[in-house]
Chain A
């Protein structure tokens, strides 16, 4: 994370990522729209879907414009499956895949892939883990060889586990310097309590210490199996070539019975709660929100339209118009529903100078009340729909993005025709429905408010405490 940050810092001085007018179109829309985009006729993707004998779901899209192949493997091995006292297990298991196999050390793995200018990596979130590969076509054999080796034969060396543990603990400490990280961690904890969705995917220093090599080995052996995985391959490659590569490099990946963990829907905390954290900052970092919806909720599309109008639609959103454009109180304000498999959150986030904290919270509540009590205008509804349906191709410009999208479509069971149906889902949303879902899924009374700030300067009013 720290590393990421220093990269940002430098890139800011280059054209590739200069000081921009507004950062959100990238962040929020990736979070939000990656699951709700559509393929218009002109850009329809020809997706070949098969389930192999070993249970692996395989999705292939041919793109021959560049000699490049991108692979994503989604595995149902997210933090939701780990025990509370070993939080961080799913994440550390994924990240250790590239730290050594039966035949290669961590250094040999990075040396091989980096020599050809490719990349291989793995990480886990709450719901699933993703292993990804990026290579030039000419290096496909090398890429698939590495990919199969790290998925099937990781050796999880004790020493690498220890190294990783120290680094994760260090990065947790270092992230304390990022107010948005702190605010978001506290928010999830308050909304989901002890449920895995309420924890950091990275774990805590204590739970990381409790993870032994055997835990990692067992977690891997239980979940990293083909009948628990989805592989998408996008690029300069044919289905025949993909199948030949799988035959050559994945013959030893066998299906296996998966012990079904009893996954509970989290009990969402429905009460008013304020969390303040005192830091010597110039800005108050604020999150206001509560539980949201899961990805399979049929109201998902009405909620998408409603949220676009409230705070999801970049400069067009009501929150942005009010807090930034009219009052000049913040560079960034946004709202989003983050849907997970079994639940989700709704949150509004803003950074404003300490002294404006109360005003920002008041305006957020004002906008939440307004959208719950009065129908949105015809123009707002039409604009939201035309953006949501019209912006699809922008999100799928690159092979890597397509590969990740396909994993999500499959994982959340949206169906391959989702791509064709999305516009009609959005276009059928009415003003009444927007009002209905606003009333149902926004709560101006029972919410969690997190304020990371110089508390003395922020001086939160008693009614927000």
Chain B
């Protein structure tokens, strides 16, 4: 199901394009119900009116994810995200979330490899609070040294929780670090613990000043909103913030891999686990569509090949999946993963995963299987639109990849995929010499048969 979710994102704009055209009063323009404007300081703003939504969302996205960090300073982007809640001269260190909660809203933020974003959900008439608070912290962050160090401790605890005490996530971290030798996907978003210990307040402040600027950001507001009023407020709060330097994504390519890489993680655990990553392009390459459908054929629900074979028929695995996300800025990995049932070996499940891949390489999947994978994408997208947050996210994600209209291209691409395309993609990318295999070796003896 998860791959469907990532694919679905695209279809959204398609439906918007079908809506009635409205003329714009300001410098911006409408595309269906989606209004778009670029302020003179380079800030891009989208406003999406959905009269059915019982609330409004505000999202601001910055081109400041972990790919923008340097060796030795990993985790900066995410730590800075935490510090964005630590106050400005106008609003003290504990004010941001307090103001939002008091208004009955919720707020949070997230950092990915490619970007960072901040968001709030509120009653539509409270949206002005988000606009004021976000404009203020785009350029006025205080970053008190004491608060900074204390928040660094919080992030270290977060790292312990998410990675150090979670054996499967450690395997994931190691597979990424081993598969990539050049592009910044090789380090984790949360950063290495050793780097976190060394990051200083000055590192963070410098990064903030360089990356947090209107021309390096994008806002999307959505919900049952008055677009004109919201835009007026956004122009007045953000319009005066000066332009900064343009942040480009690092121009880095990954060297060819010629031969399997294999690694082991030894940790206290009950069951072993295997994660296999194949180097694949993203959807800016036409093969991306076929790879998305391939992931659906292999792993889109209980009637998919991997579930049927490893879990249902052979009864080897407790969990087994294929997954692929084509929406990263850089080419990334197509994953297979599995945990064996107690008493079954890691070799058996790994072999069984490859068997499913080989079958597709030998013989193209049925027309019906391919159609099912496409149907899942389409239905998942329609259902996702029930969430206004999701609708906003779709617009932003594609825009962050270069152009929100890439969504149309993507959707058309998925629809055109044939069984032969799926077979060809498997033959081309799911090959031994391009893969990295991570294996979790449980240190505790596993009793069999229990």
> Residues of A with Cβ closer than 8 Å to B?
2-3, 5-7, 9-22, 25, 29, 42-43, 63, 65-68, 106-107, 110-111, 114-119, 134, 136, 163, 166-167, 169-171, 173-174, 176-179, 205, 279-283, 313-316, 321, 324-332, 351-353, 383, 386-387, 389-394, 396-400
Contact = CB atoms under 8 A, between A and B. Distances in A.
Contacts of A394: 55, 104-106, 121-122
A15 B319 contact: no
Nearest to A23: B108
Contact of B325 (A14, A29, A283, A324): A14
Given A173-B342, A315-B97, A387 B104 contact: yes
Nearest to B81: A21
A353 B52 contact: no
30 contacts: A2-B319, A10-B172, A15-B112, A15-B117, A19-B111, A19-B162, A21-B81, A21-B109, A29-B106, A66-B383, A68-B382, A68-B383, A107-B312, A111-B303, A115-B375, A118-B379, A163-B315, A167-B318, A173-B271, A177-B166, A177-B270, A205-B450, A279-B268, A313-B101, A326-B150, A328-B149, A351-B157, A391-B104, A392-B104, A397-B53
A95 B380 CA distance: 23
B342 A328 contact: no
Given A15-B115, A174-B318, A324 B300 contact: no
Given A134-B383, A174-B270, A283 B397 contact: no
Contacts of B168: 2, 5-6, 9, 177
Contacts of B267: 280
A19 B189 contact: yes
Contacts of B283: none
Contact of A68 (B4, B339, B386, B388): B386
B315 A166 contact: yes
A15 B110 contact: yes
Given A118-B379, A136-B382, A10 B335 contact: yes
A116 B300 CA distance: 12
A397 B389 contact: yes
A171 B339 CA distance: 10
B64 interface: no
A281 B377 CA distance: 39
Interface centre among A21, A116, A134, A176 (most CB of B within 10 A): A21
Interface centre among A13, A166, A386 (most CB of B within 10 A): A13
Contacts of B342: 169-170, 173
Contacts of B97: 314-316
Given A2-B318, A326-B150, A173 B397 contact: no
A65 B384 CA distance: 12
Nearest to B327: A14
B157 A173 contact: no
Nearest to B117: A15
Nearest to A39: B54
A18 B55 contact: no
What 5 pairs between A and B have smallest CB-CB spacing?
A390-B104, A117-B379, A328-B153, A18-B110, A328-B150
B157 A329 contact: yes
B405 interface: no
Interface string B189-228: 1100000000000000000000000000000000000000
Given A3-B321, A114-B376, A280-B267, 9 more contacts: A2-B318, A5-B166, A110-B302, A177-B270, A283-B165, A328-B153, A331-B158, A383-B101, A389-B104
Contacts of A324: 154
Contact of B321 (A6, A16, A136, A351): A6
Contacts of B302: 106-107, 110, 114
B112 A18 contact: yes
B287 interface: no
A72 B393 CA distance: 27
A172 B375 CA distance: 34
Size class of the contact patch on chain B = 35 or more
B243 interface: no
B387 interface: yes
Contacts of A18: 110-112, 116-117, 189
Nearest to A11: B2
Contact of A391 (B6, B105, B378): B105
Interface string B408-450: 0000000000000000000000000000000000010000001
Interface centre among B308, B319, B382 (most CB of A within 10 A): B319
Contacts of A9: 168-169, 172
Contacts of B94: 315, 321, 325
Contacts of A169: 342, 450
B19 interface: no
A324 B150 CA distance: 8
B157 A3 contact: no
A170 B446 CA distance: 11
A202 to B, nearest CB: 13
B151 interface: yes
A185 B55 CA distance: 37
Nearest to B304: A114
Interface in B297-350: 300-304, 308, 311-312, 315, 318-319, 321, 323, 325, 327-328, 335, 337, 339, 341-342
B261 interface: no
Nearest to B400: A15
B85 A21 contact: yes
A166 to B, nearest CB: 6
B165 A281 contact: yes
Nearest to A326: B150
Given A383-B98, A389-B104, A331 B55 contact: no
B153 A329 contact: yes
Nearest to B61: A15
Contact of B372 (A42, A115, A178, A353): A115
B385 interface: yes
B164 A282 contact: yes
B103 to A, nearest CB: 6
B315 A283 contact: no
Contacts of B115: 15
